[in-house]
Structure 1
Amino acid sequence: MTMDKAGPTADKRRWQALWVCLTTGFMTLLDSSIVNVALPSMERGLGADTADLSWVVSGYALTFGLALVPAGRLGDLRGRRTVFLFGLALFTLASAACGLASGAGWLVFFRLSQGVASGILAPQTTGLIQQMFRGTERARAFGMLGSVVGLSTAIGPPAGGLLIHLFGTDDGWRWVFYVNLPIGVAAFCAALRLLPRTPPAPGRREGMDLPGVLLLGTGVLALMLPLVQEQQWTGRLKWALLPVAAVLLAGFWAWERWQGWWGRAPLLDLRLFAQRSFSLGVLLNLVYFAGFTTLFFVYTLFLQNGVGYSALAAGFSSLPFACGSAIGAAVSGRLVVRHGRKLVVAGLGVVALGLLTAIAAVQLVPGRGVAWAAALPLLVAGLGSGVTISPNTTLTLASVPVRRAGAAGGVLVTAQRIGSAAGIAAVGAVYFAHLANHGSPATALQLGLLTAVGIVVVALALAVADLRERQAEPLSPVPSATRPEEEPDPAA
């Protein structure tokens, strides 16, 4: 099935294929947060120690980030449908293996495999959206993807808490993984029937840039390890990995330029960064995710450890943000073609306002009523988040040629993962330092959220500066008759 054929049947199948991608994306992103409330259950039922539990959470984020760009490029080269199906099968099997794990070591190993599978799937989703849709339809599709990102990030804690409540603290953690099995099998069967094949690229068949994969992988690993292990690795020696990461990533950049100079196919076409919309969008993604994802980390810790909420109650307290994010992403997906980067500026401003109001709510309504007082501010912040993520994704990838869409999408999501890890490390350090020195959970939360607001304001300043230099232009739809493989390469 090709997506360039006209007619209502082809149009219907495109949207059905999108729902397969969104369902899979929801499942994999949910898995990054659903396990957080299941950690005590793993400790009790499996005898896992603190180091094991740390790797269950951080190992997933680490392998997720490592796989993104190589997997995106592989999808560009060998077909996004094929790579998507492989990633989905791997994720489903790894989920089953996690649930069946007989020891903590096996659980960590299969959890790392889950992260790799998620990293394989994510860039195929953005690449398939680029391939299947154009213009306003593409913006609407990315709006739906933004809703999925917001919902899956926030709904994980209450979903995990509910499963632990239903299946008990000894074995409830296994159902956190088993829940993926029926979804994964159904999505795989639907993907076989609905996902389009990637049209073959003209000219000679390109190969995979293995030295580029090695340099990028080791660079990202050296960058993310001290961030995701910030609380577990004591001492300052871990930060020595950051200059190592800088050297490796600089080497990757030089190697990719060398590849381009000699006319060889690079892992990542660096000419993409010459596009202002792409480079700014990636930077905004990195900075914004460093700010907003920390909310769930410190807020649920505060509610459980500082106020005495159960895991289930703490999880449900984040739902207002999720609902607002889903609504904001869906609405902004229809408006981004008209308003462009102005929407991102507005969204970031609303997020900052919502978080500041939440800080005031924690101050004014202490005790067990704090979640009710913070519900409306979190709803507002969620609306702003949806209006930020979805338009920024659309604008960042708007000028990326379809044949590079997988690798470009991998870069965008890698920025999200690095930003999230850095933000949690920074905000977590503020939160735990105040808690250790002063013992006031409410003040620790307020300081942590103020740090998150500061990061969001940095993203806002970047977006405003761009808007002042260049008024946001409407996104011009690509004519429907244009085939994906004929799309001009603006980076050329």
Structure 2
Amino acid sequence: MASDAAPASGRAASVHAIDHAAAMTPQRRKQALVVVAGAFMMDLIDLTIVNVALPSIQRDLGADTAAMQWMVAGYAVAFAVLLITGGRLGDTKGYRRLFMLGMAGFTATSLLCGAAVSAEMLVLARLAQGATAALMLPQVMSLIQVMYPPAERIGALAVFGVLGGIAAVLGPVIGGILIEANLFGLGWRPIFLINGPLGLVGLIAAWRLLPPGRSAHGGAVDMVGTGLIAATLLALLLPLLQGREAGWPLWCLALLAASPLLAWAFIAHIRRQAPHGKALVDPVLFANRGFSVGLSLSLCFQATTAGLLFILTLTLQYGLGCTPLETALVHIPYALGASVAIGFVARRALPRIGLRLILIGVALMLAGLAALAGLVAGGGGLVPLGAALLLTGTGMGMVGGPLGPVTLSDVDVAHAGSASGSMKAVQQLGAASGAALIGGVFFILAGDLANGAARSAFLLTVPLLAGLLLMVAFLVTRLPRDLRIFRK
């Protein structure tokens, strides 16, 4: 949205939100919060539940390593590409309508995932699942704005920080339990099928409880920009995910060569559209050094964490012989460490020690990574692995917790929505890149994952992860020291 229109839109939307908030009873508001929080949890659990199931899926469907990467990366890519567009559609068509459309699609595609009879079908269903999540999730924060008066929004939004930590723990554990239980002989399929009844209940509750709010000045939907960014990401990620299995044919190299040209076309397009308030992302944002460096930090950091969790899950099951449930349980300390660091340590320490907090977090992650490498090399038990993951997760929280406030610190309020959406999209792109790049290197080294190859591949991939963490530390030094959040 162009900066000259944004303040008026913000005032109109604010008045609109206050009208709906006043019309809702406190009881209905709480019930509506449960509905949107449930959708938020469904998305996060689906992100974290799949990694644990990958070996079971591979054995059942005969998936090759590229398909395994697509099952993780495909969801994130589709989500990243359509996230900002989903938010704009909510502004123009109504938040409740898009929320329900997204939830219906998410439920249906979850059932398709559970019914997949081939790896290719599951990959396509995961892409569709990510696309429908991109319609549903942006409406969650918009509905909070509509349902709650300004003074009460902070408390409502705080709920989602807690739920994020809970989902990070619950996702792998639920996945491990469902796979071990082998309900009705369905193996891994219930991790997706469980969304069927949950989604149906959510749809009924959304229709009854959510207000039909929308922005008074909804922004135009930039379908050309969406298409260009989708083409750019496809040209970059498709060769990275498929090139190894296909033997790096000419089309892979051609797509890689085309990706920077498509990126240039996208940048040129948003520059042309920005004066008319129609750009997918306002290019003025990237003149802000804190925002630009913060996005680079988020991309690099998310690629590191997503890549680590992806290859660690495979190493635990293929290399150390862990069951899906044991794999899930050993991830709990990681999630708990991250949750505590984000919820308590980062929030209190960031104003006191500033950007040094992120550097301390990087150091803890490097120490945890070194400990994991030593334990994998020696065939370490679950308890020592859990301790190493607790250290790694704590460091992760000390890096990830401050990234949002730091990146958005100096963004003008008129561009807050576009900046926040861009950051979330970049985080999803980072997750997809981690599965593609780090997963690709791991599979090149591991081959068919037989005869302990997964352990050796993990150890040889650790230097790449460490290098990415050092890049995170370097980017921290490029952030402005006078960010608004540090000014007293």
TM-score above 0.5, yes or no: yes
How far off its partner does 1:175 sit? 0.7
Structure 1 residues not aligned, in runs of 5+: 477-492
Give the distance between the partners of 1:347 and 1:444, measured in 2 at CA: 28
Partner residue in 1 for 2:314: 301
Partner residue in 2 for 1:489: none
Partner residue in 2 for 1:27: 42
Matched residues, percent identical? Answer: 36
Aligned CA distance change for structure 1 residues 396 and 89 (closer, same or farther; 3 Å): farther
TM-score by length of 2: 0.80
Higher mean alpha-carbon deviation, 164-173 vs 11-20, is at 11-20
Partner residue in 2 for 1:388: 399
Residue 466 of structure 1 aligns to a residue whose secondary structure is coil
Return the match for 2:424 from 413, 423, 433.
Answer: 413
Partner residue in 2 for 1:257: 271
Give the distance between the partners of 1:103 and 1:432, measured in 2 at CA: 21
How far off its partner does 1:52 sit? 5.6
Instruction: Answer yes or no: is 1:325 the counterpart of 2:344.
Output: no
Give the distance between the partners of 1:92 and 1:286, measured in 2 at CA: 29
Give the distance between the partners of 2:474 and 2:148, measured in 1 at CA: 31
Residue 134 of structure 2 aligns to a residue whose secondary structure is helix
Tell me, yes or no, if the aligned pair for 1:24 and 1:187 is still in contact at 8 Å: yes
TM-score by length of 1: 0.80
Tell me, yes or no, if the aligned pair for 1:95 and 1:180 is still in contact at 8 Å: yes
**For residues 360-439 of structure 1, what are the structure 2 equivalents within 5 Å?**
360=371, 362-363=373-374, 367-397=378-408, 407-435=418-446
Instruction: Answer yes or no: is 1:473 the counterpart of 2:488.
Output: no
Letter of the structure 1 residue corresponding to residue 465 of structure 2: A
Give the distance between the partners of 2:455 and 2:66, measured in 1 at CA: 28
Partner residue in 2 for 1:111: 126
Aligned CA distance change for structure 1 residues 45 and 370 (closer, same or farther; 3 Å): closer
**For residues 57-136 of structure 1, what are the structure 2 equivalents within 5 Å?**
57-101=72-116, 106-128=121-143
Superposed CA offset, 1:92-120 (max 9, x none) = 12212333445655444433321211222
Tell me, yes or no, if the aligned pair for 1:99 and 1:178 is still in contact at 8 Å: yes
Give the distance between the partners of 1:240 and 1:133, measured in 2 at CA: 50
Partner residue in 1 for 2:8: none
Aligned CA distance change for structure 1 residues 407 and 378 (closer, same or farther; 3 Å): same
Give the distance between the partners of 2:445 and 2:64, measured in 1 at CA: 25
Return the match for 1:163 from 165, 178, 181.
Answer: 178
Higher mean alpha-carbon deviation, 289-298 vs 429-438, is at 429-438
Tell me, yes or no, if the aligned pair for 2:78 and 2:131 is still in contact at 8 Å: yes
How far off its partner does 1:141 sit? 6.1
Give the distance between the partners of 1:450 and 1:154, measured in 2 at CA: 27
Aligned CA distance change for structure 1 residues 353 and 184 (closer, same or farther; 3 Å): same
Give the distance between the partners of 1:455 and 1:190, measured in 2 at CA: 43
Higher mean alpha-carbon deviation, 314-323 vs 19-28, is at 19-28
Superposed CA offset, 1:419-475 (max 9, x none) = 2232333333443455469966545433423322321222222223315x3255359
**For residues 120-269 of structure 1, what are the structure 2 equivalents within 5 Å?**
120-128=135-143, 144-149=159-164, 151-153=166-168, 155-167=170-182, 170-202=185-217, 206-229=219-242, 231-235=244-248, 237=250, 238-261=252-275, 263-269=276-282
How far off its partner does 1:386 sit? 2.6
Residue 84 of structure 1 aligns to a residue whose secondary structure is helix
Partner residue in 2 for 1:273: 286
Higher mean alpha-carbon deviation, 26-35 vs 363-372, is at 363-372
CA RMSD of aligned residues (A): 3.9
Letter of the structure 2 residue corresponding to residue 272 of structure 1: L
Give the distance between the partners of 1:37 and 1:120, measured in 2 at CA: 26
Give the distance between the partners of 1:208 and 1:367, measured in 2 at CA: 54
Residue 182 of structure 2 aligns to a residue whose secondary structure is helix
Give the distance between the partners of 1:10 and 1:394, measured in 2 at CA: 32
Letter of the structure 1 residue corresponding to residue 437 of structure 2: A
Tell me, yes or no, if the aligned pair for 2:80 and 2:425 is still in contact at 8 Å: yes
Aligned CA distance change for structure 1 residues 2 and 279 (closer, same or farther; 3 Å): same
Give the distance between the partners of 2:41 and 2:103, measured in 1 at CA: 12
Give the distance between the partners of 1:102 and 1:433, measured in 2 at CA: 27
Give the distance between the partners of 2:257 and 2:403, measured in 1 at CA: 30
Tell me, yes or no, if the aligned pair for 1:59 and 1:111 is still in contact at 8 Å: yes
How many aligned residue pairs are there?
470
Letter of the structure 2 residue corresponding to residue 95 of structure 1: S
Higher mean alpha-carbon deviation, 53-62 vs 71-80, is at 53-62
Give the distance between the partners of 2:362 and 2:166, measured in 1 at CA: 16
Aligned CA distance change for structure 1 residues 450 and 181 (closer, same or farther; 3 Å): same
Give the distance between the partners of 1:126 and 1:344, measured in 2 at CA: 28
Aligned CA distance change for structure 1 residues 288 and 142 (closer, same or farther; 3 Å): farther
Partner residue in 2 for 1:359: 370
Letter of the structure 2 residue corresponding to residue 164 of structure 1: I
Letter of the structure 1 residue corresponding to residue 79 of structure 2: F
How far off its partner does 1:40 sit? 4.8
Residue 208 of structure 1 aligns to a residue whose secondary structure is coil
Instruction: Answer yes or no: is 1:450 the counterpart of 2:477.
Output: no
Tell me, yes or no, if the aligned pair for 1:34 and 1:157 is still in contact at 8 Å: yes
Tell me, yes or no, if the aligned pair for 2:82 and 2:134 is still in contact at 8 Å: yes
